[in-house]
Amino acid sequence: MSYYFAIIGTQDNPLFEYEFGTSKQGGDGQARFNEQARHLNQFILHSSLDIVEEVQWTNGQLYLKVIDRFFTNYISCFMTGGNVKFLLLHQPTATAGGASSSRNSTSVGANPTSPQTEEAIKNFFTEVYENYVKAIMSPFYKVNMEIRSPVFRQRVAAAGRKYL
């Protein structure tokens, strides 16, 4: 399972991006995207912004679950109150799952739309959201500015390890 996480500002401008892999089931936390398709992640993620706009008013929730899919790439979305979008692209590992599928089928990530996965991603988003609020409360941060804080990056990484 590989993840690509990005925060998109109110002008559809990227504020933050982070790539990581699963730490569950003995994962080492490294992203295993196909090298040839890796650069497409950004495109896939940003192309789902249209869908975000469609679904964002359909329910009052901040967490919109999986909103888009492109082949094996699933996009989950979380909107903040200030119209900043957290997008997480998750890609189940294609080949490795086959042998031990009975065990993996219940694991986070093997089935991207299962309630367990949704819950795990929700927890991840919630934790990132808390830290995001702290990061933008810094007086030296301005709206829609790229988030460069190393502390924030560490905390996103920690949240990724914890839940995904």
Partner 1 sequence: MASSKASRLGEEVWKTRMDKVNAELVVLTYGTIVAQLCKDFDSDYVEVNKQLDKMGYNIGLRLIEDYLAKSNTVRRCSNFRETAEMIAKVGFKIFLNITPTITNWTSDGKQFSLVFDENPFADFVELPDDGRAQDELWYSNILCGVLRGALEMVQMQVEAHFISDVLRGNDTTEMRISLIRYIDDELPPEDD
Residues forming contacts to partner 1 in the complex (CB under 8 A) are 134-135, 137-141, 148-151
Q: Which is nearer to partner 1, 2 or 131 (CB)?
A: 131
Spatial distance between the Cα atoms of 63 and 121, rounded to a whole number of angstroms: 9
Q: Which is nearer to partner 1, 99 or 137 (CB)?
A: 137
Torsion of CA 62, 65, 68, 71, to 10 degrees: 150
Q: Which is nearer to partner 1, 129 or 163 (CB)?
A: 129
Nearest approach, Cβ of residue 151 and partner 1 (Å)? 6
Sign of CA dihedral 44, 50, 53, 59: negative
Nearest approach, Cβ of residue 146 and partner 1 (Å)? 11
Q: Which is nearer to partner 1, 25 or 149 (CB)?
A: 149
Nearest approach, Cβ of residue 6 and partner 1 (Å)? 20
Spatial distance between the Cα atoms of 68 and 88, rounded to a whole number of angstroms: 11
29 touches 21 (CB < 8 A): yes
Nearest approach, Cβ of residue 149 and partner 1 (Å)? 5
Three-state DSSP state, 45: helix
